[in-house]
Amino acid sequence: MRKKILIVEDSEIDRLTLKNILSSQYKVVAMDNGYAALQYLARMHEEVACVMLDVQMPILDGFETLRLIRESGLDDMDIFMISSEATLINVERSLKYGVKQFIAKPFDAKRLLARISQMFNETGSHGSAASAAKGAGVPVSRAEIDIKETAEFILKLNGIYKYYMKNSSISDEAYVRVSDLMKILLPEYAVHKMNEPYTTTQIDIIAKAAYFYDLGQMFFDAKDRKNEAHTTMGANMVWLNTSPGCRFFVENCAEMCLHHHERFDGTGFPHQLSGDDITDVSRLCQLAIAFDSFFYRLSDVSNRMFDLTLRDLRADSGKFDLDLISMLGEARLEIIRYYAKEVPFDK
């Protein structure tokens, strides 16, 4: 059965445009104001899978409508906010109301449908071991063991790594941020580049794997931390786990350990890989590392600082896939929201 989406948008042109896009795959009901939407939801909310609210509407704007939806206890639907701008106030209000997604105007039909499809897919199979195992190429019959084994391995690796960091007085904050950035970038990447998007569990596993990208530093003294061999050492350590159940984590983690210093133009190390020879996850991981190291240093979390960071990344000619930097720009809202929430301003 086709899922039903409720659009709340005061501009008739924007409403018709969005309705036309969504109608190709979903049942769509469109309202031109927040009050009408609330009345409709009071009767029909069980049929509605998702609500799309324009931020800027007269009298009752999108966030105010959302507040009333929440207060009425009608909060079991996915919410998208529609806006042509990721202003700081929109980011702050999104945080306050727990909004997951923004739809940018002008609408990009293909991208929008892919995002919704991915969201419904995730909602329907959230945390599903079977779907993660399917994506990782692991037999479904071993799914429960796969997830359990993977979780246990991550826990062990984490214990070792944390012990090392504590004894070396190294903070893991930057690694946590890289891991979180991966969680934001992977769904974005999947929409742009992949025929079959990652499942939520796969994204979670890859993001956790990214935390360990610099694991190989453990094998070197503080004065020797720039030793190129740390990439190989880290990967070798992860590869010690040969269990088929952990394969998805091991492959992705080792890959990021090994190739996070490669460059898009082939002048990196250890293997001088270039272009698409560097895997998706490694390219994303490199970008997340570089983005964080630029953005975190800046004085505040704002659109202007975000733009400065993108400029600096683009200026490092040859290091990154420029398409990925553009994609990073499209995830601006979520990234700014993350840093605004997670990173103290008085850092």
CA–chain centroid gap for 332, Å, is 11
Does 73 bind other proteins (CB under 8 A)? Our answer is: no
- ∠ CA 182-248-168, rounded to 5°: 60
Does 240 bind other proteins (CB under 8 A)? Our answer is: no
Tell me if 21 sits within 8 A of 107, measured CB to CB. Answer: yes
Q: How far apart are CA 5 and CA 26, in angstroms?
A: 7
17 versus 128: smaller Cβ distance to other proteins? 17
Does 117 bind other proteins (CB under 8 A)? Our answer is: no
CB of 187 to other proteins, least distance (A): 22
Binding other proteins by CB under 8 A: which of 24, 167, 171, 195?
24
Binding other proteins by CB under 8 A: which of 4, 32, 35, 56?
56
Give the residue ranges of DSSP H helices in the chain.
12-23, 34-44, 62-71, 88-97, 109-124, 129-135, 143-167, 173-193, 200-210, 230-239, 247-259, 280-295, 303-315, 322-330, 332-342
Does 300 bind other proteins (CB under 8 A)? Our answer is: no
CB of 14 to other proteins, least distance (A): 6
Binding other proteins by CB under 8 A: which of 73, 106, 222, 226?
106
Q: Report the Cα–Cα distance between both ends of the chain, in Å, rounded.
A: 50
Does 25 bind other proteins (CB under 8 A)? Our answer is: no
Structure-token pair, residue 87: 């202003």
Does 107 bind other proteins (CB under 8 A)? Our answer is: yes
Binding other proteins by CB under 8 A: which of 8, 21, 147, 170?
21
Q: How far apart are CA 5 and CA 3, in angstroms?
A: 7
Binding other proteins by CB under 8 A: which of 32, 64, 108, 312?
108
Q: Which of 139, 247, 161, 159 is nearest to 202 (CA)?
A: 247
Binding other proteins by CB under 8 A: which of 32, 47, 64, 85?
85
89 versus 160: smaller Cβ distance to other proteins? 89
**Stretch of 11-19, 44-52, 251-259, 285-293 lying at the interface with other proteins (CB under 8 A):** 11-19
Residues that bind other proteins (CB under 8 A): 11-14, 16-17, 20-21, 24, 56, 84-85, 87, 105-109
